[in-house]
């Protein structure tokens, strides 16, 4: 079972991109493989250490960002707002869980999308589906929808620009964001929030603000140490041309590192045991996530985890369950039990978004805030009842004021006000912050409902 950077090419490749110019793909891949890495093996190993600690209950992971990042979205305000909401959510969770929270953005490379159909029909016209800016563009024209090999380099460039800005902002410490009094808590005035919830949020914000001010009073060194803002990147490792081109050996370490991102994950549609994606990702040293939906057979999941980490390395694997609120109680317990019985070491994370997507009669995709909340609540409860803790949460969210998910202040009639996602519906800034407070409520004590 020898592995090499191209051994995936001998396996069935699901979600294969239909490039019409293989020569141009080879040219782009060759150039991509010469360019500098976006992340380093030190950072990858540091994240692995954090995930290993989260597996022991010493840390919690918050992963979030767009469903599909776009090249047009590579703008300072959009990037800053995304980091801001992740940072604010993480502070709420730190406060609730009383442990460090590791922030992992779905950013700087979340440009490739799996689709349920290879083509899309509109008014009798059939074109290839939109597969993310790494492949083609969203406009419904033959030119935009053509799979363009040059997009591989363009996406790499935008990932690098994004990451450069993220690193600068993180190094500067986001000073003002550590002050909860500057947060936009406008959602607190909403009529559907109970008095209890409102008071709980105000209390939490006040305590956070006091704690952060106290740390500041201790002096700069301490604050830097305690509030050091690390951001890790992640994306679905879907386009193996892109991922393989940036996979290499590094000096003084064993194995191969995928250096487009710290934490790639394998999607629900590409996790076939004998498929190309599992073959590729079993050979890299990175922390690897794997999405697990309600239909996964527990023994199949055990085989996947064993294949991806035969040595059972701590911090290596993150099992991201995305069952749908209606399926959690039935499908999650046997899965968790089987993995535990087999002795496979994973960090359990919940993605409460992808099992709860609905299509409205207008054709618009949406998700209900309450379904998302319910999947999380049930997932926390299942893990607790089995004697351990959920180790992380995974959201599609944005720092912008979009109207894509229903609930948390928005109704169906609000959706067309600012539906901006080119793929799945995301939580907006206020919904995401409220979500963090709700999760925080369960983590720190009795449910705030
Ligand atoms: C995603 O995370 O955007 C996604 C497509 O998820 P899944 O593979 O779980 O459907
Ligand atoms: Co999505």
CATH number at residue 347: 3.20.20.70
Residue 224 has a pLDDT of 57
Residue 388 has a pLDDT of 83
Q: What distances in angstroms separate CA 61 from CA 1, 105, 163, 384, one per listed residue? A: 33, 11, 20, 17
Residues forming a β-bridge with 396? 65
Residue 176 has a pLDDT of 61
- Between 73-77, 130-134, 168-172, 309-313, the lowest mean confidence (pLDDT) is in 168-172
Q: Mean of the per-residue pLDDT values for the chain?
A: 94
Average pLDDT over residues 266-290: 98
b/e map of 156-168 (b: 16 or more CB within 10 Å)? bebbbebbebbee
Asked whether 268 lines ligand 1 (CB < 6 A), one says: yes
Residue-wise pLDDT for 13-55, tens only, equals 999 999 999 999 999 999 999 999 999 999 999 999 999 999 9
Quickly state the pLDDT bin for 164 (edges 50, 70, 90): very high
Asked whether 106 lines ligand 1 (CB < 6 A), one says: no
Question: Which atom of ligand 1 is least distant from the CA of 106?
Answer: 2
Q: 351: which 2 tokens?
A: 């993605």
Contacts of 112 (CB under 8 A, 6+ apart): 131, 132, 134, 135, 235, 236, 238, 239, 242
- CB atoms under 10 Å from CB of 37, counted, come to 17
Residue 257, SS3 per DSSP: strand
Question: Which atom of ligand 1 is least distant from the CA of 322?
Answer: 9
Residue 181 has a pLDDT of 77
Quickly state the pLDDT bin for 209 (edges 50, 70, 90): confident
What radius of gyration do the chain's Cα atoms show?
Answer: 21
Q: What distances in angstroms separate CA 355 from CA 21, 95, 110, 115, one per listed residue? A: 36, 28, 19, 15
Task: Judge whether 183 lies within some domain.
Answer: no
Asked whether 426 lines ligand 1 (CB < 6 A), one says: no
Report the distance separating Cα 399 and Cα 432, nearest Å.
8
Question: Which atom of ligand 1 is least distant from the CA of 269?
Answer: 8
Backbone angles phi, psi at 385, to 5 degrees: -70, -20
Say yes or no to pLDDT of 448 above 50: no
In the structure, ligand 2 is a single-atom ion and the residues with CB under 5 Å from it are: 67, 424
By most ligand atoms within 8 Å of CB, the mutation choice from 112, 269, 427 for ligand 1 is 269
Report the distance separating Cα 323 and Cα 296, nearest Å.
9
Task: Judge whether 217 lies within some domain.
Answer: no
Average pLDDT over residues 317-337: 98
Ligand nearest to the CA of 116: 1
Task: Judge whether 270 lies within some domain.
Answer: yes
Quickly state the pLDDT bin for 447 (edges 50, 70, 90): very low
Average pLDDT over residues 205-220: 80
Burial degree of 78 (CB within 10 A; 0-12, 13-18, 19+): middle
Q: What distances in angstroms separate CA 154 from CA 106, 142, 162, 241, one per listed residue? A: 18, 19, 12, 14
Q: Please count the structural domains in the chain.
A: 1
CB 29 within 8 A of CB 241: yes
Say yes or no to pLDDT of 72 above 50: yes
Average pLDDT over residues 220-228: 58
Asked whether 114 lines ligand 1 (CB < 6 A), one says: yes
Say yes or no to pLDDT of 392 above 90: yes
Task: Judge whether 297 lies within some domain.
Answer: yes
Residue 269 has a pLDDT of 98
Backbone angles phi, psi at 125, to 5 degrees: -95, 130
Q: 238: which 2 tokens?
A: 């879907």
Longest dimension (CA), the chain: 67
Expressed in angstroms, the distance from the first to the final Cα of the chain is 52
Instruction: Report the percentage of the chain scoring pLDDT > 70.
Output: 95
CB 121 within 8 A of CB 175: no
Report the distance separating Cα 262 and Cα 260, nearest Å.
7
Asked whether 69 lines ligand 1 (CB < 6 A), one says: no
The single residue listed with the structure tokens 């978004």 is 353
Say yes or no to pLDDT of 127 above 60: yes
Task: Judge whether 96 lies within some domain.
Answer: yes
Q: 181: which 2 tokens?
A: 């009094």
Residue 175 has a pLDDT of 59
Q: Which residue's CA is the closest to the ligand 1 atom numbered 10?
A: 268
Q: 217: which 2 tokens?
A: 């009073």
Task: Judge whether 212 lies within some domain.
Answer: no
Say yes or no to pLDDT of 247 above 80: yes
Quickly state the pLDDT bin for 141 (edges 50, 70, 90): very high
Residue-wise pLDDT for 394-414, tens only, equals 999 999 999 999 999 999 999
Asked whether 67 lines ligand 1 (CB < 6 A), one says: yes
Asked whether 267 lines ligand 1 (CB < 6 A), one says: yes
Q: Which domain holds residue 315?
A: 7-175+229-443
Ligand nearest to the CA of 394: 1
- CB atoms under 10 Å from CB of 91, counted, come to 24
Task: Judge whether 195 lies within some domain.
Answer: no
Residue 211 has a pLDDT of 84
By most ligand atoms within 8 Å of CB, the mutation choice from 65, 238, 291, 320 for ligand 1 is 291
Report the distance separating Cα 108 and Cα 111, nearest Å.
8
Asked whether 324 lines ligand 1 (CB < 6 A), one says: no
Question: Which atom of ligand 1 is least distant from the CA of 293?
Answer: 9
Question: Residue 15: which of 159, 118, 130 has the closest Cα?
Answer: 118
């Amino acid at each position: 079972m020898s592995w090499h950077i191209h051994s995936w090419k001998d396996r069935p490749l699901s979600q294969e991109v239909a490039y019409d110019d293989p020569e141009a793909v080879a040219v782009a891949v060759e150039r991509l493989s010469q360019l500098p890495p976006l992340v380093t093996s030190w950072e990858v190993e540091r994240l692995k250490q954090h995930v290993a600690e989260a597996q022991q209950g010493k840390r919690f992971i918050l992963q979030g960002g767009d469903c599909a990042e776009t090249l047009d979205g590579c703008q300072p305000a959009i990037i800053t707002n995304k980091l801001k909401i992740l940072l604010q959510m993480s502070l709420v969770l730190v406060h609730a869980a009383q442990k460090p929270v590791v922030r992992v953005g779905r950013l700087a490379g979340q440009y490739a999308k799996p689709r349920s159909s290879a083509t899309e029909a509109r008014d009798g016209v059939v074109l290839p589906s939109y597969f993310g800016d790494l492949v083609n563009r969203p406009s419904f024209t033959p030119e935009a929808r053509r799979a363009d090999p040059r997009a591989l380099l363009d996406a790499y460039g935008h990932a690098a620009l994004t990451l450069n800005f993220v690193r600068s902002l993180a190094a500067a410490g986001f000073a003002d964001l550590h002050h909860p009094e500057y947060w936009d808590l406008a959602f607190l005035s909403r009529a559907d929030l109970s008095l209890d919830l409102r008071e709980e949020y105000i209390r939490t914000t006040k305590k956070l603000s006091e704690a952060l001010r106290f740390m500041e009073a201790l002096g700069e060194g301490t604050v830097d140490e305690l509030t050091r803002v690390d951001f890790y990147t992640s994306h679905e490792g879907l386009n193996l041309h892109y991922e393989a081109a940036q996979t290499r050996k590094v000096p003084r370490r064993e194995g191969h590192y995928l250096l487009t991102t710290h934490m790639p994950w394998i999607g629900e549609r590409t996790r076939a045991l004998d498929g190309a994606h599992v073959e590729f990702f079993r050979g890299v040293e990175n922390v690897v996530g794997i999405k697990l939906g309600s239909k996964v057979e527990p023994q199949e999941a055990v085989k996947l985890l064993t294949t991806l980490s035969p040595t059972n390395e701590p911090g290596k694997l993150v099992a991201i369950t995305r069952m749908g609120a209606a399926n959690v109680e039935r499908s999650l317990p046997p899965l968790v039990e089987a993995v535990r019985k087999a002795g496979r070491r994973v960090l359990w994370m919940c993605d409460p978004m992808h099992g709860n997507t609905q299509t409205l009669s207008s054709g618009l995709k949406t998700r209900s805030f309450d379904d998302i909340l319910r999947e999380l609540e049930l997932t926390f409860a299942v893990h607790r009842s089995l004697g351990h803790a959920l180790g992380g949460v995974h959201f599609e969210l944005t720092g912008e004021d979009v109207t894509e998910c229903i609930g948390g202040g928005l109704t169906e009639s609000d959706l067309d006000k600012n539906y901006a996602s080119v793929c799945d519906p995301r939580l907006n800034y206020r919904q995401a912050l409220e979500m963090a407070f709700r999760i925080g409520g369960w983590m720190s004590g009795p449910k705030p409902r």
